[in-house]
Structure 1
């Protein structure tokens, strides 16, 4: 069996396992299955992840697992990979410098590296030390092929042939200096936006709340800004997202909400506030935690032109009938396998890098 078939088969098994694990958690029946070594391991590590990083709640970890369980089916993997000739790959060691802002944020890069038949040298974010090694432990357990395919390091990187590094605009400058002589993908800050036209249903806007609040808004696919028509009634939006009000009961989120509200008030900024989300009129994209920027628009064509000029800062545009490749309300944290970060085809990069 070829490495690609082995990998696909193993990742399909991973998807089924994650689905089972999520079901056991959600039905509160996991205690009946703790004699299964892998089930017990996953339960323990999720609890550790939550204590290690307060943003990694069980709910958000399970959400990440569930979305990967949906993606990792034989049908999805085959459809994703059919456009590539994986046999053309020249085996190499790919260094992965991972972010840690949301659970399993670096897993897609790791999947791309392994499924193309390469080896991964992984440098984890200090914010996510648990979940990626947990997935690798599972793969090694079910498929010996993976035993020597992934290594983790906290030290200076040793030998590698290519690099995929994800970080901030500041770290990107360091990455470009340090990794510039090797084939590379270097990712910077990006944010996601939503464009409202005033015709959205309550269901649309409530779904938009998922795009705003999932992972506490920490992901590059999290909506951090909305564009609204001049005549827009913001109360419509506030009422639709009220079901997410419990988020303010999370200690770290509440601290950010209180802090940012105080800063805005002391600075005498005009803000709108519903008790768990602060809206501030602002031209930039990256709103702080518990805040959402908004900007009025009058002409849709002018807005399209404006967003096109800023496309290197934008990961997703959530809308309905506004622009090509828009993301539906509520779907930003449900990417498909071919939704590449920053629009850079990672598989193609790996296959053409010798």
Structure 2
């Protein structure tokens, strides 16, 4: 089992294909691939949360990552066994953001194994098309990629991503096989009150990209006592047009109405609700916050919550730390839940 150079080359070609497509879409110059444009439109119509901007953002990030330099630097950290029999790895994919399961797909193929993928009904258009492109570049991948609609069968290991509820279901059905089972996670930000306007504007990207539906989206902020929320609201004002998306607007109207009827104390800027709450998982259009008065105590609290937190956005040096604006720009070795997917696959 080894990472085949032809497979790497196919992914490099895919990366260039995506980069060229996105560059031409954003600049509105040059020739735009008509087939991929149709696929983007289909994905947009299929799932109202998948706007063209968010789909292009996801494609662009993968285009940036899938270069020969990036792939080889990432893979150089691993020892690949020679002549091992490829294993069939079932991947149960989430569908909360575009191509959320692509990293697992990439890891399985570059580890020399076979993909048996069950797509989410919310995101079933993009990956089959990209797989078709990969197979056009490298015919041997034909026998290594399979999509199934029904029950996963005849697999040697499984990677399954879902909610806490589906996680229990996954553990019951897949517990007798080598597995990675992922449940709910959220991301948080720790503010000190000394952030620049640009840092807080970048935080808006972490909050609002994909409408907050990703596990890497910031759903809660920790702020010091007497924090000036006006500064935060002012910096986030650039994202006000998010309210024009009707699904988001419906969530905003509903959550705001519930809080007001329940007489909860909230802050509101016309497109986002701020609510003090100890929980990590906030509803769409709502950002939770908690105050802290001791940074070392907060660090300890975040460490204790580690299995529920994907990223921590902060200018401070914190575990799982990410710079402002970068939560939705993970690198190839940023593994979900901190579990090294590639190492898991190489041990099969």
Q: What range is the shorter-chain TM-score in?
A: over 0.9
Partner Cα distance (1:276, 1:7) in 2: 45
Partner Cα distance (1:159, 1:322) in 2: 45
Structure 1 residue 142: Cα displacement: 1.4
Structure 1 residue 96: Cα displacement: 0.3
Match of 1:119 in 2: 114
Decide which of 56, 60, 65 is 1:62's aligned counterpart: 56
Decide which of 244, 268, 275 is 2:270's aligned counterpart: 275
Please give the secondary structure, in 2, of the residue aligned with 1:148: helix
Question: Which deviates more from structure 2 when the two are superposed, residues 67-76 or residues 182-191?
Answer: 67-76
Match of 2:25 in 1: 25
Match of 1:51 in 2: 45
Decide which of 69, 83, 89 is 2:77's aligned counterpart: 83
Question: Which deviates more from structure 2 when the two are superposed, residues 322-331 or residues 132-141?
Answer: 322-331
Question: 1:262-301 to 2 correspondence within 5 Å?
Answer: 262-301=257-296
Structure 1 stretches of at least 4 aligned residues deviating more than 6 Å after TM superposition: none
Question: 1:55-204 to 2 correspondence within 5 Å?
Answer: 55-88=49-82, 90-204=85-199
Structure 1 residue 325: Cα displacement: 4.0
Structure 1 residue 86: Cα displacement: 2.1
Q: Is the 8 A contact 1:90 1:351 kept in 2?
A: no
1:4 aligns with 2:39: no
Task: Report how many residues are paired.
Answer: 346
Unaligned runs of 5+ in 2: none
Structure 1 residue 316: Cα displacement: 0.2
Unaligned runs of 5+ in 1: 34-38
Match of 1:224 in 2: 219
Q: Is the 8 A contact 2:93 2:118 kept in 1?
A: yes
Please give the secondary structure, in 2, of the residue aligned with 1:279: strand
Deviations 1:64-92 (Å, cap 9, x if unpaired)? 01111111111111111101122355410
Deviations 1:21-67 (Å, cap 9, x if unpaired)? 0012112246x45xxxxx22211111011110000000000000111
Decide which of 320, 341, 344 is 2:336's aligned counterpart: 341
Decide which of 29, 36, 43 is 1:42's aligned counterpart: 36
Structure 1 residue 3: Cα displacement: 5.1
Please give the secondary structure, in 2, of the residue aligned with 1:316: strand
1:316 aligns with 2:311: yes
Partner Cα distance (2:4, 2:260) in 1: 56
Q: Is the 8 A contact 2:190 2:313 kept in 1?
A: yes
Decide which of 220, 240, 251 is 1:256's aligned counterpart: 251
Give the TM-score, by structure 2 length. Answer: 0.97
Q: Is the 8 A contact 2:303 2:319 kept in 1?
A: no
Give the TM-score, by structure 1 length. Answer: 0.96
Please give the secondary structure, in 1, of the residue aligned with 2:321: coil
Partner Cα distance (2:267, 2:40) in 1: 36
Please give the secondary structure, in 2, of the residue aligned with 1:120: strand
Please give the secondary structure, in 2, of the residue aligned with 1:83: coil
Partner Cα distance (1:319, 1:164) in 2: 30
